Structure 1
Amino acid sequence: MQNKPFVLLGKEIPEGKRTVLDLEVAKLHTRTTVNVPVIIERSKKPGPVVLLLAGIHGDETNGVGIIREIISQKINKPITGTIICIPVFNIFGYLIQTREFPDGRDLNRMFPGSLNGSLASQFAYQFTKEIAPFVDYVVDFHTGGGERDNIAQIRCNKEDQKALELAKIFNPPMIVFSENITKSLRDTLHKMGKTILLFEGGKSKELNPTIINEGVNGTKNILIHLGLIEGEITVRETPIFINKAKWLRASHSGMFKIRAKNGTFVKKKEVLGVIQDPFGEFKKKIYAPFDCHVFCINKTPIVNKGEALFHLSIDE
């Protein structure tokens, strides 16, 4: 819960007002300062502090689009508590549409960071020390990497009951149980006692209206549930729970033609796709190895043998 006064990045945040702060990342070799805008809306009534964060990977633009819509629709204006929005966390990667930080590191594997480490590690350290301690709940927006297209989903640890409750309230099409990855933002925040949801939807370098809509509606549900905004929680349908999963990989190299629809249930031996050569002489069908849900598809047109193509649920 927020306290009075509420201080962030060394500045007191006034009640009932919008405040925009700059989280300084570094200076370019031209001496130009690179800042990450932090948008804070604090109500006049005390309540939880919720952080909405996107763009930890610079090419994952769907998450940026989600927070942009939340701000545009004024969903981030609370009646109690505080809502912090960081639409573009990895500003370097976002500017040139790459996943990594300029030092080549994956920022989401650098937490909690180090004061004297690499540039990515120093930035992770700054966030961990100056923002993370002051928030209660976090929604971290991601997409599939490269050409991997994720169905809208929330990922959370099965043992984290608070996160699981919020995942159900978010009401995505799918909830995927996954362990926290060491040195990720999710793992670090969990160890700090914060409740964090990781949203995955769509693929990198796109603005998918369906995915953005899922992210906005789900976040709105969370904020209503926590009492930060008014409204009624929207329940579309019961989410599908993915307890275990495996990647179905390409048995051959070639041109990849997709037959399965993302997010659907398929039966064993159903054709998911076809791999073929450019000369019209070779064609290999890809069959579902068992009854399962498809929740991520690699949409690259050319694949190599062993490349991950379909992420499938394993029903227990």
Structure 2
Amino acid sequence: MARESFAIGNVRVRAGSAKSVELPITRLVTGGDASLPVHVVHGKEPGPAIWVNAAIHGDEVLGVEVIRRLMADLDPKTLRGTVVFVPVVNVLGFMNGDRYLPDRRDLNRMFPGSPRGSLASRIANLFMTEVVSKCELGLDLHTAADKRDNLPQIRADLDDPVTRKLAQAFGAPVMLHAKLRDGSLRQAGLDVGARVLLYEAGMPMRFDEAPIRVGVDGVLRVLTQMDMIDLRPELIEPPYVEECRSSGWVRARGTGILHLEVDLGAEVREGQRLGGLSDTLGRRVRLVHADRTGVVIGLTRQPIVNAGDAVIHIAN
């Protein structure tokens, strides 16, 4: 028997085909409509259903490029299962290059949402109803916050054996055990029985080829691990993955111009000098030291810092 079609919105996607769908969100003040763009690749053969999304924060464009390449790469004729791509979740923030929605709400604190709540709550509810509820696994693609840069990393519940195996298969340089946050997509997904891997990499409003490549290859490795695609020769040998159980930010102990002496991925020791702060005349006013031993997974790219600002993220 032919595989059943996949229902989303008011359309059905036939097995062995791909289709793009616009899910209505709201009417704009100009009279136009805002909608959630979704691309469904419904494999000819049966298998798991997963989703891949990006731009829950509107300035996180790197994941949009990861999804563009993946959509061009997957063939519904050979895919076993279904992949639902949502390249831009926070459509209104994305149009403005803004992390948040127009009402300043963080969409990743509004899940599972409500059909009659705020705009953010309605988008979250639409995403949960049309996408998450129909899948067993999600890959949520993010970048660092404003003026920060992240080493490619997977954040997930590494105490769950299945999730840990998938995080390792992704092959990012670091996989970090991360607690769930109320209102996050990870938390809402778990509540309805879907595991979620959160990919963090790069900077907002910027394409960087290295983390884009890690993201594309990582998703393909996960699909291979779930037996949805055949293993590709270039992906046979996944890179070494550092497992980290906790992390924390080193904060500036003074105000000044920051000069870093480490970069992303550096292995550091507790007490090691990582940089320093100088005043506008070039006089050194403070040193920055590691408060733990581990690997650098995040940095500020803001040269001017104030006392208490987070400057270096170390996972151990």
| TM tier relative to shorter chain | over 0.9
Does the Cα contact within 8 Å between 2:16 and 2:77 map onto a contact in 1?
no
Displacement of 1:129 after TM fit? 1.8
Query: What does residue 291 of structure 1 align with?
Result: 293
Counterparts of 1:186 and 1:261, CA distance in 2: 29
Query: CA 1:76/1:225 → structure 2, altered by over 3 Å: closer, same or farther?
Result: farther
Query: What does residue 235 of structure 1 align with?
Result: 237
Q: Does 1:266 align with 2:291?
A: no
Does the Cα contact within 8 Å between 2:4 and 2:14 map onto a contact in 1?
no
Displacement of 1:133 after TM fit? 1.2
Percent identity over the alignment is 31
Query: What does residue 178 of structure 2 align with?
Result: 178
Query: What does residue 160 of structure 1 align with?
Result: 160
Corresponding letter in the other structure for 1:235: E
Query: What does residue 38 of structure 2 align with?
Result: 38
Corresponding letter in the other structure for 1:134: K
Query: What does residue 79 of structure 1 align with?
Result: 79
Query: What does residue 107 of structure 1 align with?
Result: 107
Query: What does residue 221 of structure 2 align with?
Result: 221
Counterparts of 1:127 and 1:306, CA distance in 2: 37
Query: What does residue 207 of structure 2 align with?
Result: 207
SS in 1 for 2:95: helix
Displacement of 1:43 after TM fit? 1.7
Query: What does residue 303 of structure 1 align with?
Result: 305
Displacement of 1:280 after TM fit? 2.5
Corresponding letter in the other structure for 1:81: G
Residues 101-127 of structure 1: CA deviation (Å, up to 9, x unaligned): 111100000000012111000111122
Displacement of 1:78 after TM fit? 4.8
Residues 284-305 of structure 1: CA deviation (Å, up to 9, x unaligned): 2212234321111111111111
Give me the CA root mean square deviation. Answer: 1.7
Counterparts of 2:176 and 2:77, CA distance in 1: 30
Aligned length: 313
Query: CA 1:313/1:118 → structure 2, altered by over 3 Å: closer, same or farther?
Result: same
Displacement of 1:283 after TM fit? 3.2
Does the Cα contact within 8 Å between 1:77 and 1:83 map onto a contact in 2?
no
Query: CA 1:51/1:297 → structure 2, altered by over 3 Å: closer, same or farther?
Result: same
Displacement of 1:51 after TM fit? 0.6
Counterparts of 1:160 and 1:75, CA distance in 2: 31
SS in 1 for 2:258: strand
Displacement of 1:77 after TM fit? 6.8
Residues 2-28 of structure 1: CA deviation (Å, up to 9, x unaligned): x72421113221111111110112111
Does the Cα contact within 8 Å between 1:70 and 1:76 map onto a contact in 2?
no
Counterparts of 1:263 and 1:45, CA distance in 2: 40
Residues 61-87 of structure 1: CA deviation (Å, up to 9, x unaligned): 111111112123347775211111111
SS in 1 for 2:176: strand
Query: CA 1:248/1:117 → structure 2, altered by over 3 Å: closer, same or farther?
Result: same
Query: CA 1:161/1:77 → structure 2, altered by over 3 Å: closer, same or farther?
Result: farther
SS in 2 for 1:206: coil
SS in 1 for 2:80: coil
Query: What does residue 22 of structure 1 align with?
Result: 22
Residues 266-316 of structure 1: CA deviation (Å, up to 9, x unaligned): 1233221111111223432212234321111111111111000111124xx
Query: CA 1:270/1:24 → structure 2, altered by over 3 Å: closer, same or farther?
Result: same
Query: What does residue 257 of structure 1 align with?
Result: 259
Structure 2 unaligned segments of length 5 or more: list them: none
Counterparts of 1:10 and 1:31, CA distance in 2: 22
Does the Cα contact within 8 Å between 1:28 and 1:34 map onto a contact in 2?
yes
Displacement of 1:212 after TM fit? 0.1
Query: CA 1:308/1:234 → structure 2, altered by over 3 Å: closer, same or farther?
Result: farther
SS in 1 for 2:206: coil
Counterparts of 2:36 and 2:78, CA distance in 1: 22
Query: CA 1:207/1:78 → structure 2, altered by over 3 Å: closer, same or farther?
Result: farther
SS in 2 for 1:257: strand
Query: What does residue 50 of structure 1 align with?
Result: 50
SS in 1 for 2:221: helix
